[in-house]
Structure 1
Amino acid sequence: MIFLDAAATTRVRREVLEAMWPYLTGDFGNPSSHHSLGETAAAALAGARASVAAALGCRPGEVTFTSGGTEADNLAVKGIALARQAANPQLNRVVISAVEHPAVEESARYLERFHGFVVDVVPVDGTGLVAPEALRAVLRPETALVSVMYANNEVGTIQPVAELAAISRHQGIPFHTDAVQAAGWLPLDVKALGIDAMSVSGHKLGAPKGCGVLFVRGRTRLEPLLHGGGQERGRRSGTENVSGAVGIATALTLTQAGQQEQRRRVAALRDTFISAVLTGVPGAVLTGHPSCRLPSVASFCFPGTSGESVLLEVERQGVVCSSGSACAAGSDAPSPVLTALGYDPGVAQTAVRFSFDSAVTAEDLAAAATALRQAVESVRALGIRPG
Structure 2
Amino acid sequence: MAEERLYMDWNAGAPARPSVRALVADLLTRTGNPSSVHAEGRAARAAVEAARREIAALVGAEAKGVTFTSGGTEASVTVLAPDWTLFGRPHRFDRLLVSAVEHPSVARGGRFPADRVETVPVDGDGVVDLGALDRRLGEIAAAGERAIVSVMLANNETGAVQPVAEVARVGRAHGALVHADAVQAAGRMAVDLAGLGVDVLTLSAHKIGGIQGAGAIVRGAHGFAFPPLLTGGGQEGFARAGTESVAAIAAFGLAAREALAEIAEMPAVAARRDRIEAAIRAAAPSAAIFAAGAARLPNTTAFAIPGLPAETALIAFDLAGIALSAGSACSSGKVRPSGVLTAMGVPEALAKGGLRVSIGPTTDDADVDRFAATFARINADMTKRHGTKVA
- Residue pair 1:84, 1:144 contacting (<8 A) in 2 also: no
Return the TM-score normalized by structure 2: 0.90
Return the TM-score normalized by structure 1: 0.91
Corresponding residue of 1:10: 14
Paired AA for residue 96 in structure 2: V
> Is 1:76 aligned to 2:76, yes or no?
no
CA 1:62–1:272: 2 relative to 1, 3 Å: same
CA 1:112–1:70: 2 relative to 1, 3 Å: same
Cα deviation for residue 377 of structure 1 reads: 2.9
Corresponding residue of 1:106: 108
> Is 1:249 aligned to 2:253, yes or no?
yes
Q: Distance in 1 between matches of 2:46 and 2:377?
A: 54
Q: Deviations over 1:222-254 (max 9, x none)?
A: 111101102111111000111111111110110
Q: Distance in 2 between matches of 1:185 and 1:203?
A: 13
> Per the alignment, in what secondary structure is the counterpart of residue 283 of structure 1?
coil
Q: Distance in 2 between matches of 1:335 and 1:167?
A: 28
- Residue pair 1:69, 1:200 contacting (<8 A) in 2 also: yes
Q: Distance in 1 between matches of 2:387 and 2:360?
A: 31
Corresponding residue of 2:128: 130
Match among 284, 287, 290 for residue 287 of structure 1: 290
> Per the alignment, in what secondary structure is the counterpart of residue 226 of structure 2?
coil
> Per the alignment, in what secondary structure is the counterpart of residue 202 of structure 2?
strand
> Per the alignment, in what secondary structure is the counterpart of residue 109 of structure 2?
helix
Corresponding residue of 2:219: 216
CA 1:236–1:88: 2 relative to 1, 3 Å: closer
Q: Distance in 1 between matches of 2:328 and 2:48?
A: 31
Corresponding residue of 2:61: 58
CA RMSD of aligned residues (A): 2.4
Q: Deviations over 1:38-95 (max 9, x none)?
A: 11111221221122222222222110011111111111212xx332699356x31111
Q: Distance in 2 between matches of 1:350 and 1:369?
A: 18
Paired AA for residue 138 in structure 1: R
For structure 1, which runs of at least 5 residues remain unmatched after alignment?
Answer: none
Q: Deviations over 1:176-222 (max 9, x none)?
A: 11111111111121111111111111111111111111102342131
Q: Deviations over 1:297-339 (max 9, x none)?
A: 1111111121110111122222211113789898621100000
> Per the alignment, in what secondary structure is the counterpart of residue 326 of structure 2?
coil
Matches within 5 A, 1:111-260: 111-113=112-114, 117-139=115-137, 140-141=140-141, 142-218=145-221, 219-260=223-264
Q: Distance in 1 between matches of 2:153 and 2:344?
A: 17
Paired AA for residue 252 in structure 1: A
Q: Distance in 2 between matches of 1:197 and 1:11?
A: 27
CA 1:33–1:82: 2 relative to 1, 3 Å: same
Paired AA for residue 255 in structure 2: A
Cα deviation for residue 291 of structure 1 reads: 4.7
Matches within 5 A, 1:243-322: 243-260=247-264, 262-322=265-325
280-289 vs 2-11, which deviates more?
Answer: 280-289
For structure 2, which runs of at least 5 residues remain unmatched after alignment?
Answer: none
- Residue pair 2:147, 2:175 contacting (<8 A) in 1 also: no
Cα deviation for residue 271 of structure 1 reads: 1.0
Match among 85, 95, 98 for residue 93 of structure 1: 95
- Residue pair 2:178, 2:200 contacting (<8 A) in 1 also: yes
Cα deviation for residue 22 of structure 1 reads: 3.7
CA 1:269–1:217: 2 relative to 1, 3 Å: same
Q: Deviations over 1:348-383 (max 9, x none)?
A: 111111000111112211221221122133234334
Q: Distance in 1 between matches of 2:42 and 2:275?
A: 51
User: Sequence identity, in percent?
Assistant: 36
